[in-house]
C-alpha cells in the first residue's frame, strides 16, 4: 500500500488528570499519522505541547496537567510538514481562546481563505485547520454563541472534517455532514472520550458507545448535549475499511477485521488461484490474506517480514526514495517461499511501483509463481477528502487494463475485487459509502473540488 491517511483526533473529559490517556489514545492511532503529535489540556488556561515526530518522541519526559484535553497525530496532505502546522492549534480572539484538532480536508479551503483574508483575517499556518478555527471564531464573535458559531461555520465548510475542540473546560466533537472520516464516542465511568478510531478507546479501557453522527456537534462538559447541522449524502470513506483503520477498530457499527476477512474470502470466490501458499503484503494485506486462505483452503504463511522500526517510508517524498523504502522495509523468507506458487494479497494498487518491487523480490528469493489479489477495486480518481492521492497521473489503472497492469508489475495473474464485492464485504448500503476514487462519483460537486486542486 502506498498512500497515507492524514490524521487522528482525540478528546477526553474526566474528573481525573487526562494526559496519560490522551498519550495512549494517540499512541494507539499512530498508524494514522507519524509526522507530528500534539496534546492540549485545560486547567485555568490552555496548556499545549506539540512537535514533529512520533508520540513517544514528542512527549518524552513531558506532562500537561488538566482533566480535559484533546490530542492529534498528523501526516500532512494540505500544508507543509512543519511544526507550526502540527496540531492542536490554539486560536486567541476577543472572546477567549480554544484549541482544535482536525482530521480531513476541506475542498474549498482556498476560497474560504481568500474571503477571510479580504475581511482582514491573518493566517499563521498553511493548514485548512486554521481556516476552520478562524471561521468558527469569527462566527462566534458575530453570533455571540460558540455553538452557533460552529454551526454557522459548518455551513461554509465543504469536505471532510472530524474535529475535536477544547473550549474552556469542555470538549466538542464535530463530524462533517457527509461523515467521511470516522469519529467515535465512548466512556469509562465518569470519563468521556471521543477518538478517530475505537482502538484508541480500547487502549484506555473505555467502552465504545456509538459513532458521532453525520453533522453532529457533541458537547461534553457538565453534561452532554448534541446539536446538528444540515443533512448531506452520507459518504463513509471505503478506504477506512479497506486499509486505513486498524483491524481491531469498529466504524459505523462495522468491524474492520471482519470486512477485510470478507474481502479476502470474496476475492477467492471471484478469482481463485492454483497455489501452494497465501501470503500478505504486511501489514495492510494480512487480514484479507487470512480470509483468502480460509475460503480457499490454501495455507496462509509468512512470506515477507516487515521491519517494524522503519516507520516513515511515506516521508520520503521522491519516487526513487519511495522505492528504496520498500527494499528496506520488507524482506522475503527464502525457506518459506522457495519453489512455491504464491498468492500475494494486498489492499490496493495506486502507482504500482511498490507491488512491482515486492513481486521481483519474491521471485529473486525463489518463488515460482506470484498471483496477485487486490481487495480494493482499481483506483482511478483523486481523493479530495483527506487521503494522499490527488492527481490523476498517480494511478496506474487510469491508463492500463487489469491485464496490462499485471504485466507491468510482473505478476503471473492479477485480480481485483469488483465494486459490488467491496460493498458486499463492507455490508453497508452503497449509498452510504464514498466510492469516489473508484467510480469518479463525488458527493461534493466538481466545481467545489477544483477550488483546491
Ligand atoms: S475518494 Fe476514496 S479515499 Fe477519498 S474519501 Fe472517498 S473513498 Fe475515501
Question: Could you read off the pLDDT of 11-48 as tens digits, one per residue?
Answer: 999 999 999 999 999 999 999 998 999 999 999 999 99
Residues 80 and 185 reside in one and the same domain: yes
Residue 373, classed as helix, strand or coil, is: strand
Atom of ligand 1 nearest to the CA of 235: 6
Cα separation, 228 vs 221, whole angstroms? 17
Please compute the mean of the pLDDT values over residues 373-388 and round it to a whole number.
93
> Does residue 151 fall inside a structural domain?
yes
> Does residue 238 fall inside a structural domain?
no
- Domain with 175 in it: what CATH number? 3.60.20.10
Of 154-158, 330-334, 390-394, which gets the smallest average pLDDT? 390-394
Long-range contacts of 84-87 (CB under 8 A, 24+ apart): 84/124, 84/125, 85/36, 85/125, 85/126, 85/127, 86/35, 86/36, 86/37, 86/38, 86/50, 86/51, 86/52, 87/7, 87/36, 87/38, 87/50, 87/127, 87/129
Residues 281 and 187 reside in one and the same domain: no
Tell me how far the alpha carbon of residue 452 lies from the centroid of ligand 1, in angstroms.
16
CA-based nearest residue to 149, from 164, 161, 125, 132: 132
> Does residue 137 fall inside a structural domain?
yes
Cα separation, 358 vs 355, whole angstroms? 5
Strands 369-374 vs 341-346: parallel, antiparallel or unpaired: parallel
Tell me how far the alpha carbon of residue 181 lies from the centroid of ligand 1, in angstroms.
9
Residues 223 and 279 reside in one and the same domain: no
Tell me how far the alpha carbon of residue 75 lies from the centroid of ligand 1, in angstroms.
16
Atom of ligand 1 nearest to the CA of 438: 2
Looking up cell 460558540 gives 146
Residues 180 and 270 reside in one and the same domain: no
Which residues sit opposite 330 in a β-bridge? 306
Cα separation, 194 vs 196, whole angstroms? 7
Which residues sit opposite 72 in a β-bridge? 9, 38
Q: Tell whether the model's pLDDT for residue 151 goes beyond 80.
A: yes
- Cα 190 to chain center, whole Å? 29
Residues 166 and 278 reside in one and the same domain: no
376 Cβ below 6 A of ligand 1: no
Tell me how far the alpha carbon of residue 450 lies from the centroid of ligand 1, in angstroms.
16
- Domain with 332 in it: what CATH number? 3.40.50.2020
> Does residue 175 fall inside a structural domain?
yes
389 Cβ below 6 A of ligand 1: no
> Does residue 263 fall inside a structural domain?
yes
383 Cβ below 6 A of ligand 1: yes
Question: Residues 70, 10: contact at Cβ < 8 Å?
Answer: yes
Residues 16 and 158 reside in one and the same domain: yes
Taking CA atoms only, the protein residue closest to ligand 1 atom 8 is 237
Predicted TM-score (pTM) above 0.85? yes
Q: Is the peptide bond before 88 cis (omega within 30 degrees of 0)?
A: yes
Residues 99 and 191 reside in one and the same domain: yes
Which residues sit opposite 185 in a β-bridge? 194, 210
Cα separation, 375 vs 377, whole angstroms? 7
> Does residue 44 fall inside a structural domain?
yes
> Does residue 2 fall inside a structural domain?
no
* pLDDT at residue 96, rounded to an integer: 96
DSSP classification of residue 379:
P
436 Cβ below 6 A of ligand 1: yes
Q: What CA dihedral angle connects 238, 240, 241 and 244, to 10 degrees?
A: 140
Please compute the mean of the pLDDT values over residues 233-256 and round it to a whole number.
95
- Cα 287 to chain center, whole Å? 18
* pLDDT at residue 70, rounded to an integer: 98
Question: Residues 3, 350: contact at Cβ < 8 Å?
Answer: yes
> Does residue 245 fall inside a structural domain?
no
**Best of 234, 437, 441 to mutate for ligand 1, by most ligand atoms within 8 A of CB?**
437
CA-based nearest residue to 311, from 1, 51, 39, 54: 54
Greatest CA separation for the chain: 72
Strands lying side by side in the sheet with 191-195: 46-52, 36-42, 68-74, 7-13, 191-195, 184-188, 207-211
86 Cβ below 6 A of ligand 1: no
Residues 210 and 269 reside in one and the same domain: no
Question: Residues 70, 11: contact at Cβ < 8 Å?
Answer: yes
Residues 11 and 141 reside in one and the same domain: yes
Cα separation, 417 vs 288, whole angstroms? 11
Q: Tell whether the model's pLDDT for residue 200 goes beyond 90.
A: yes
| Chain segment 261-281, per-residue pLDDT in tens | 999 999 999 999 999 999 999
Residues 224 and 284 reside in one and the same domain: no
442 Cβ below 6 A of ligand 1: no
Residues 13 and 154 reside in one and the same domain: yes
* pLDDT at residue 421, rounded to an integer: 97
**Best of 233, 237, 397 to mutate for ligand 1, by most ligand atoms within 8 A of CB?**
237
Q: In terms of pLDDT, which residue wins out, 312 or 371?
A: 371
Tell me how far the alpha carbon of residue 39 lies from the centroid of ligand 1, in angstroms.
28
Q: Compute the 3-state secondary structure of the chain and give helix, strand, coil in percent, each to the nearest 5.
A: 35, 25, 40
Please compute the mean of the pLDDT values over residues 57-75 and round it to a whole number.
96
425 Cβ below 6 A of ligand 1: no
379 Cβ below 6 A of ligand 1: no
Cα separation, 307 vs 256, whole angstroms? 24
266: its cell numbers = 470474496
Residues 23 and 67 reside in one and the same domain: yes
Burial class (CB in 10 A: 0-12, 13-18, 19+), 247: middle
What residue numbers bound the domain in which 39 lies? 7-232
Angle at 298 between CA 292 and CA 304, to 5 degrees: 75
Domain tally, the chain = 2
Tell me how far the alpha carbon of residue 120 lies from the centroid of ligand 1, in angstroms.
34
Please compute the mean of the pLDDT values over residues 318-345 and round it to a whole number.
81
Average pLDDT, the chain: 91
Q: Tell whether the model's pLDDT for residue 208 goes beyond 70.
A: yes
Cα separation, 423 vs 435, whole angstroms? 9
* pLDDT at residue 4, rounded to an integer: 56
The residues annotated as belonging to the active site are 7
Residue 166, classed as helix, strand or coil, is: strand
Amino acid at each position: 500500500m502506498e498512500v497515507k491517511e492524514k490524521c487522528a483526533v482525540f478528546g477526553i473529559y474526566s474528573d481525573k488528570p487526562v494526559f496519560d490517556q490522551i498519550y495512549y489514545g494517540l499512541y494507539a492511532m499512530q498508524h494514522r499519522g507519524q509526522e507530528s503529535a500534539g496534546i492540549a489540556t485545560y486547567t485555568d488556561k490552555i496548556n499545549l505541547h506539540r512537535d514533529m515526530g512520533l508520540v513517544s518522541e514528542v512527549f518524552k519526559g513531558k506532562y500537561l496537567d488538566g482533566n480535559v484535553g484533546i490530542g492529534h497525530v498528523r501526516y500532512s496532505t494540505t500544508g507543509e510538514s512543519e511544526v507550526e502546522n502540527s496540531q492542536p492549534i490554539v486560536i486567541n480572539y476577543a472572546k477567549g481562546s480554544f484549541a482544535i484538532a482536525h482530521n480531513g480536508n476541506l475542498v474549498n479551503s482556498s476560497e474560504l481563505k481568500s474571503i477571510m483574508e479580504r475581511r482582514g483575517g491573518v493566517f499563521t499556518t498553511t493548514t485548512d485547520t486554521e481556516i476552520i478555527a478562524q471561521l468558527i471564531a469569527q462566527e462566534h464573535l458575530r453570533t455571540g454563541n460558540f455553538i452557533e458559531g460552529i454551526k454557522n461555520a459548518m455551513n461554509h465548510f465543504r469536505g471532510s472534517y472530524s474535529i475535536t475542540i477544547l473550549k474552556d473546560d469542555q470538549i466538542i466533537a464535530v463530524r462533517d455532514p457527509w461523515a467521511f472520516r470516522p469519529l467515535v464516542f465512548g466512556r469509562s465511568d465518569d470519563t468521556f472520550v471521543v477518538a478517530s478510531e475505537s482502538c484508541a478507546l480500547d487502549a484506555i479501557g473505555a467502552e465504545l458507545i456509538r459513532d458521532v453522527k453525520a453533522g453532529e456537534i457533541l458537547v461534553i462538559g457538565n453534561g452532554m448535549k448534541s446539536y446538528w447541522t444540515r443533512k448531506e449524502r452520507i459518504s463513509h470513506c471505503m478506504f477506512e475499511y479497506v486499509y486505513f483503520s486498524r483491524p481491531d477498530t469498529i466504524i459505523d457499527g462495522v468491524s474492520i477485521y471482519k470486512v477485510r476477512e470478507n474481502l479476502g474470502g470474496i476475492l477467492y470466490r471471484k478469482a481463485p488461484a492454483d497455489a501452494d501458499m497465501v501470503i500478505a503484503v504486511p501489514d495492510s494485506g494480512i487480514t484479507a490474506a487470512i480470509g483468502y486462505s480460509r475460503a480457499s483452503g490454501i495455507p496462509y504463511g509468512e512470506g515477507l517480514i516487515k521491519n517494524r522500526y522503519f516507520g516513515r517510508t511515506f516521508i520520503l517524498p521522491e519516487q526513487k526514495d519511495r522505492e528504496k523504502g520498500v527494499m528496506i522495509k520488507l524482506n522475503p523468507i527464502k525457506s518459506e517461499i522457495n519453489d512455491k506458487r504464491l498468492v500475494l494479497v494486498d489492499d490496493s494498487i495506486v502507482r504500482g511501483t511498490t507491488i512491482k518491487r515486492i513481486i521481483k523480490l519474491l521471485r529473486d528469493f525463489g518463488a515460482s509463481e506470484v498471483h496477485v489479489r487486490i481487495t480494493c477495486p482499481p483506483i482511478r480518481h483523486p481523493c479530495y477528502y483527506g487521503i494522499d492521492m490527488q492527481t490523476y497521473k498517480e494511478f496506474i489503472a487510469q491508463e492500463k487494463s487489469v491485464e496490462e497492469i499485471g504485466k507491468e508489475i510482473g505478476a503471473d495473474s492479477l485480480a481485483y475485487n469488483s465494486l459490488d464485492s467491496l460493498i458486499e464485504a463492507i455490508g453497508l448500503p452503497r449509498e452510504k459509502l464514498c466510492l469516489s476514487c473508484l467510480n469518479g462519483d463525488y458527493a461534493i460537486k466538481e466545481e467545489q473540488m477544483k477550488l483546491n486542486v
